[in-house]
Amino acid sequence: MEFSSYKTLRLERQGRLLRADFNRPDTLNAIDKVAHPEVARFFAELAIDPLTDVVILSGAGRAFSAGGDLNYMQEMIEDPELFVNDIPDVKRIVFGMLDCPKPIIGKVNGPAVGLGATIALLCDVIFASPAAKIGDPHVKVGFTAGDGGAVIWPHLIGHARAKEFLMTGRLLSAEEAERIGLINHVVPAADLDRVVDEFAHELLSGAMRAIQWTKLSINIGLKQLAHAVLDASVAYEALSNMTSDHQEAVLALREKRTPQFTGK
C-alpha cells in the first residue's frame, strides 16, 4: 500500500495498526469524484496488505464524512454517465469492507452522513463522540438511499426503524444511535482516542487469524444481503439522479433555502 498515492485519505502506520482518516476537512470530508475511487481502492488494498492487522477509520477535522460532495452531485446531474461510471466503486466500497479480513474500527468523531454513514456503519465496531450525528438523508436531496444504506440500516436496527430513518433522512444523535443498536459505544470526546486505541490494541493482542476469520464468518450473511439488494438500490439511485426533485434539492442547498419538491 503506497500511502503517497492517496490524495483524499491520510494514512499512518503504528506497528500492525493502520490509522486511516478521510482528509478533506474543508468540505467535512465529503466524497467527490477523486475520493470515491480512492476509498474503493483503499479497502481492496487493505484486504491484502501484509503489514496491517487492525484499522482505525476516522475523519480529519470535525467530521467523519458528510457524504456526497455537492459540486459533484451537480456534475452528475449534468452528465448522468458520471453516476453510472461510479456504480462499480459503490459496490467495491461495500464489498471491500465486508470482504476485508482486517477488523475495521470506526471512530466517528463528528457527522457521518449519507455514504459517510454507510461507511461508518459497515465498520466492524463503531465508537462515536457525542458530537457525532449519523444519518442517511439521501431522500432530502431527492436521491434513493442506494449506495449501501438500504443494506446496512435494516440489518442493524430492523426494517421498521430503517424505513423511518431512510424515508425521512433524519439525523440521529450518537446517543440515540447507540440506544437502538446502530453503533456500539458513545464515548466523551476527550476520551475517544484513548478508548479506541485501547480496543484496537486488545484486538492486536489476540489470536489474529481467529479474529479475522470470525469477522469473515459473521459477514457471510451480510454479504448475501448486499448481493440481493445493492444492484437494484444503486439502479434506483441512478434513476433518481435524473429527477427534477433531485436538481431542485441541489439548487436549494446551494441557495441555502428549503427545496420545493413536486414529485417529479
For 170-234, give the secondary structure using H, E and C. CCEEHHHHHHCCCCCEECCHHHHHHHHHHHHHHHHCCCHHHHHHHHHHHHHHHHHHHHHHHHHHH
Predicted pLDDT of residue 135? 98
Q: Give the Cβ contact number of residue 73 at 10 Å.
A: 25
Residue 10, pLDDT > 90, answer yes
Sign of CA dihedral 20, 26, 29, 31: negative
Q: 223-231 contacts: CB < 8 A, separation 24 or more? A: 223/95, 223/98, 223/99, 225/151, 225/155, 226/94, 226/95, 226/98, 226/148, 226/151, 229/150, 229/151, 230/90, 230/91, 230/94, 230/148, 230/150, 230/151, 231/91
CB 51 within 8 A of CB 13: yes
pLDDT of residue 136: 97
Confidence of residue 166 (pLDDT cuts 50, 70, 90): very high
> pLDDT averaged over the chain?
96
Rg of the chain over all Cα atoms, to the nearest angstrom:
18
CA pair distance 4, 116, nearest whole angstrom? 23
Residue 111 scores a pLDDT above 90 = yes
Q: Are 180 and 160 in contact (CB under 8 A)?
A: no
Average pLDDT score over residue span 199-223: 98
Q: Which CATH superfamily is domain 3-190 in?
A: 2-enoyl-CoA Hydratase; Chain A, domain 1 (3.90.226.10)
C-alpha–C-alpha distance, residues 23 and 8, integer Å? 5
Distance CA 246, CA 20 (A): 32
Dihedral sign from CA coordinates of 153, 63, 23, 193: negative
Confidence of residue 1 (pLDDT cuts 50, 70, 90): confident
Q: Are strands 133-135 and 185-186 parallel, antiparallel or unpaired?
A: unpaired
Q: Looking at residue 26, what DSSP letter applies?
A: G
- Listed residue (10, 28, 202, 180) closest to 109, CA to CA: 28
pLDDT-derived band of residue 7, with 50, 70 and 90 as boundaries?
A: very high
Task: Tell me how far apart the alpha carbons of residues 264 and 261 are, in angstroms, rounded to a whole number.
Answer: 8
C-alpha–C-alpha distance, residues 92 and 24, integer Å? 21
Confidence of residue 190 (pLDDT cuts 50, 70, 90): very high
